[in-house]
Amino acid sequence: MHIVISGRGTVWPDPVPQAHTPPSGPAFTVGSFDGEALLGRRTAQYNHRSAQLAMVACGRALDDAGLEVTDENRDRIGVTLGTAAGSVTGMVEFGMDTFSQPRPHMVAAAKSSHCVLSSPAGAAAITYGLRGANATVASGPATGLAVLRHAVVILRAGHADAVLAGASEEFTGPTSWLARTARGEQVQGEGAAAFVLEGRESARAAGRKALAAVAAVDVRAVPGFSAGQFAESVARTLGRAGVSAPDVSAVAFRHTGVAEVDEAQHSGLARALPGAAQVTDEKRIGDCYSAHALLQLAGLLDEAALPAVVVAADPDGLLSVAVLNGVPE
Amino acid sequence: MVVAVHRVVITGLGPVSSIGIGADGFSHAVRMGKSGISRISSFDVSGFEHQMAGEVADFDAAELVTRLNVADWGRASLFAASAARLAADDAGLQDFGDDTAVLMGTTSGEIPNVVAMTESWHLNGPAAPDPALAAQLPAGRLALAAAQEIGATGETMTFSAACAAANCAIGYAYDLVSSGEVPVAVAGGADAVSRFTHAAFNRLGALAKDTCRPFDRDRDGMLTAEGGAALVLETLESAVGRGARIYAEILGYAVSCDAYHPSAPEPKSIARTMDTALRRSGVTPDEVDYICAHGTGTRLNDRVEAQAIRSVYGEAAPSVSSLKSMLGHTMGAASGFGSIACALAVSRGFIPPTINHRHPDPELDGIDPVAGTTREATVRVAQNNAFGFGGNNAIVLFGSAPCTS
């Protein structure tokens, strides 16, 4: 079964980074984002910023695909969203009351779902009426590609006919303090990207244009990072996708902030894909961490730079490679 | 629908629970109807209205893992890694490599680390958090911990689907193995008791005063709990080829979402998921001998679950029991423990009890909760239910080990 992308939705950060008060640093933020206006006051009140960003991207992807959700198809449309660790800010906003209130259980009930990593996927399902397979994937900076992989497996196994696959990253107080501590002083970013994935025949039958084929996605634990490791992973995934290296027009990746990993990544990708343009997007969106790979994918689709490879390495020990291919009309 | 090319069997169990650690310890405790509930000791519970939980009080990861440096990992990741180690050893497998997938489910990941950071921000105001706490926080590290502990370098992912997370991970592992993507997968779930989770359920009015009594007329709620659960899934050919002990076969599963309410379950949607799971597994309702319930012990869950079971099974519903009567609600690990219990039920011929059950609830007419003590019985097919916040439903079906002689 060939899986294609038939819709994309994005929430891009503003193109110029803004300064923020320490312990936050400068960041590319979605300055004009108004969850209340976009999703309604009630939805905005129950959901943290990560969830709101993801939900808006999901809505835009459905619109872009022209996929109308009806009683006939809602049971067969799934949602897979990605996150690194949920909304840390959402958890802190909820949990601070356990320390500051007279009794620790006097917390805001409406924010209790902030403690659950999967709350954005459930909220997106409620907002758009999607009753199919619903899941959340957490794989650090490889999250976006893991989301694609999950959606592909769910579609191939016949659990759903279409999957909204997306990831978001928020720039808010505690989340940004944490990111700066864990990943160094890179300029952070926030945003979201979501895609409608479905079988090629399903898209064709419904008259939806396939923007790209998700030809192969590989997400695996690695014992360490070397140039050879990157080159082999790319070569293996290209092999599974049936795409030859000289045909690849662009390879998108993210700097991890760990010097040895980034050196291995640079030389490994140059070795595996000598003719491909290298894209990091960091000067345009900062480091959007768990949403970075999918925002990059959206950018590659905008530029019609196919076939393309997206790579995401997590220095904790995860390496992920996706190969996107063009789909003949 | 894609036809499965391989039959998938369970060859290793790794429970790290408040009532027992390891397959035999856990099996014995479940048969005995042991309770793992105690007063919370992992955080200061003194001001809370409700103070009981199912903590794994004697959990010492250093005694269980052989490769990880315990100081580098959070509690939930160590539950996941310890469970994976136990499951791998139980399966008699040592050499994991590129073709072993590791999938772990969780509700809240390393939320105790967020609690610690929040307390420090409460006391000292905004500041960079403790680097060690920050480094351990990403939820993706749960599956990574398990993979690194057993030396697996195949597909590795952490899932959340609220409290249906482990079934989602096990189901995904089933898809990978049955379709021939990998011959072996280790899958399950893990979560740690935390101040925030406890406060959330307390505030929602979902916590029992001191005892969890699923399906009882006087049930008054759930208890928060923790643990890690992992299972080894492999193709039947692989298991038979190496002469492995087979606990059970995974027949199939279904996942869905209510798309209805952030926390309340919905009976029609749950019934639809049961129907789909049965259909995908090629099983008819009369073949199912046991349902390992989600059975949280809240008034609402047990009523909705019973209603869904009756709508699918009619008057002849199989026995239904809840492990949460013993363990409390172990969140993302819960359906992992349920899957382990189902594998034990079909392989060892017993139905786990619902302990603390004193009075039948007339509203739950037609549900046999296996009150009080274990029942010795042949279990041909067992169904493991899991529902979560956000309307996540995941149901897995287990059958007895295929006859291979």
> A237 and A253, same structural domain?
yes
Torsion angle, CA of A128/A130/A134/A136, rounded to 10 degrees?
Answer: -10
| DSSP-derived 3-state class of residue A135 | strand
Q: How far is B197 from chain A (nearest CA, A)?
A: 7
pLDDT bin (cut points 50, 70, 90) of residue B3 is low
Interface check for B274 against chain A (CB to CB < 8 A): the answer is no
> A269 and A202, same structural domain?
no
**pLDDT for position B405:** 58
Give the domain-ending residue among A161, A188, A206: A206
A246 preceded by a cis bond (ω within 30 of 0): no
Assess whether pLDDT exceeds 60 at residue B147.
yes
Residues of the domain holding A218? 214-325
Interface check for B137 against chain A (CB to CB < 8 A): the answer is yes
Q: Compare all CA atoms of chain A with the CA of B159 and give the residue at the minimum distance.
A: A137
- Cβ distance A80 to A147 under 8 Å? yes
Say if the Cβ atoms of A119 and B390 lie within 8 Å: yes
How high is the ipTM of this complex?
0.98
Enumerate the β-bridge partners of residue B185. B101, B233
> A313 and A256, same structural domain?
yes
Interface check for A258 against chain B (CB to CB < 8 A): the answer is no
> A166 and A235, same structural domain?
no
> A143 and A26, same structural domain?
yes
> A265 and A200, same structural domain?
no
Q: How far is B135 from chain A (nearest CA, A)?
A: 5
Mean pLDDT throughout A270-295? 97
What are the helix (H) ranges across B253-378? 267-281, 299-313, 324-327, 334-348
> A184 and A218, same structural domain?
no
pLDDT tens digits, B352-402: 999 999 999 999 999 999 999 999 999 999 999 999 988 999 999 999 999
Assigned CATH class of B252-400? alpha beta
Give the domain-ending residue among A206, A228, A257: A206
Q: Which CATH code fits B8-241? A: 3.40.47.10
Q: How far is A144 from chain B (nearest CA, A)?
A: 12
Nearest CB among B108, B126, B128 relative to A117 is that of B108
Interface check for A105 against chain B (CB to CB < 8 A): the answer is yes
**Which residue out of A115, A161, A183, A314 would a mutagenesis test of the B interface target, given it has the greatest number of B Cβ atoms within 10 Å?**
A115
- Cβ distance A54 to A127 under 8 Å? no
> Residues of A numbered 268-307 whose beta carbons fall under 8 angstroms of chain B's beta carbons: which are they?
none
Q: Compare all CA atoms of chain B with the CA of A111 and give the residue at the minimum distance.
A: B200
Nearest CB among B153, B262, B272 relative to A222 is that of B153
Query: Catalytic: B294?
Result: yes
B252-400 shares the fold of B8-241: yes
Interface check for A89 against chain B (CB to CB < 8 A): the answer is no
Tracing tokens 């640093």 back to the chain, one arrives at: A25
Interface check for B135 against chain A (CB to CB < 8 A): the answer is yes
> A250 and A306, same structural domain?
yes
Other C-beta atoms lying within 10 Å of the C-beta of residue A106: 15
Interface check for A319 against chain B (CB to CB < 8 A): the answer is no
Instruction: Calculate the average pLDDT of chain B.
Output: 96
Q: Compare all CA atoms of chain A with the CA of B108 and give the residue at the minimum distance.
A: A116
Q: How far is B84 from chain A (nearest CA, A)?
A: 15
Say if the Cβ atoms of B161 and A143 lie within 8 Å: no
**pLDDT for position A289:** 98
**pLDDT for position B2:** 54
- Cβ distance B303 to B366 under 8 Å? no
> A221 and A150, same structural domain?
no
Interface check for A184 against chain B (CB to CB < 8 A): the answer is no
Parallel, antiparallel or unpaired: strands B100-105 and B184-191: parallel
- What domain count does chain A have? 2
Mean pLDDT throughout A253-261? 97
Q: Which of A153, A162, A7, A137 is nearest to A78 (CA)?
A: A162
The residues, any chain, with a CB within 8 Å of residue A217's CB and separated by 6 or more, are A145, A148, A149, A152, A237, A320, A321, A322, A323
- B104 φ, ψ to 5°? -125, 140
Interface check for B166 against chain A (CB to CB < 8 A): the answer is no
What are the helix (H) ranges across B160-266? 165-178, 195-203, 236-241
Integer-rounded Cα radius of gyration of chain B: 20
Assess whether pLDDT exceeds 70 at residue B171.
yes
Say if the Cβ atoms of B256 and A75 lie within 8 Å: yes
Mean pLDDT throughout B74-80? 98
**pLDDT for position B333:** 98
Q: For residues A137 and A82, what is the distance between their CA atoms, to the nearest angstrom?
A: 5
> Residues of A numbered 209-228 whose beta carbons fall under 8 angstroms of chain B's beta carbons: which are they?
218-223
pLDDT tens digits, A111-166: 999 999 999 999 999 999 999 999 999 999 999 999 999 999 999 999 999 999 99
- Cβ distance B359 to B216 under 8 Å? yes
Query: Catalytic: B212?
Result: no
Q: How far is B193 from chain A (nearest CA, A)?
A: 12
Q: Compare all CA atoms of chain B with the CA of A161 and give the residue at the minimum distance.
A: B1
Interface check for B277 against chain A (CB to CB < 8 A): the answer is no
Say if the Cβ atoms of A177 and B128 lie within 8 Å: yes
Q: Which of A310, A320, A324, A307 is nearest to A229 (CA)?
A: A320
**pLDDT for position B12:** 98
Q: Which of B65, B14, B316, B314 is nearest to B170 (CA)?
A: B14
pLDDT bin (cut points 50, 70, 90) of residue B264 is confident
Contact residues, chain A, for B152 at CB < 8 Å: 221
**pLDDT for position A325:** 97
Say if the Cβ atoms of B257 and A95 lie within 8 Å: no
Interface check for B360 against chain A (CB to CB < 8 A): the answer is no
Greatest CA span in chain B, whole angstroms? 67
Q: Which of A276, A43, A295 is nearest to A147 (CA)?
A: A295
**Which residue out of A76, A92, A119, A136 would a mutagenesis test of the B interface target, given it has the greatest number of B Cβ atoms within 10 Å?**
A136
Mean pLDDT throughout B147-154? 98
Interface check for B3 against chain A (CB to CB < 8 A): the answer is no
Assess whether pLDDT exceeds 70 at residue B133.
yes
pLDDT bin (cut points 50, 70, 90) of residue B6 is very high
pLDDT bin (cut points 50, 70, 90) of residue B4 is confident
Q: What is the CATH classification number for the domain harbouring A142? A: 3.40.47.10
Q: Which DSSP state fits B44? A: -
Residue ranges per structural domain of chain B? 8-241, 252-400
Sign of CA dihedral A316, A318, A319, A322: negative
Say if the Cβ atoms of B140 and A122 lie within 8 Å: no
Say if the Cβ atoms of A125 and B391 lie within 8 Å: yes
Query: Catalytic: B28?
Result: no
**pLDDT for position B369:** 98
pLDDT tens digits, B239-252: 999 999 999 999 99
Nearest CB among A125, A158, A181 relative to B257 is that of A125
Say if the Cβ atoms of A178 and B117 lie within 8 Å: yes
pLDDT bin (cut points 50, 70, 90) of residue B327 is very high
Enumerate the β-bridge partners of residue B350. B376
Give the domain-ending residue among A139, A171, A206: A206
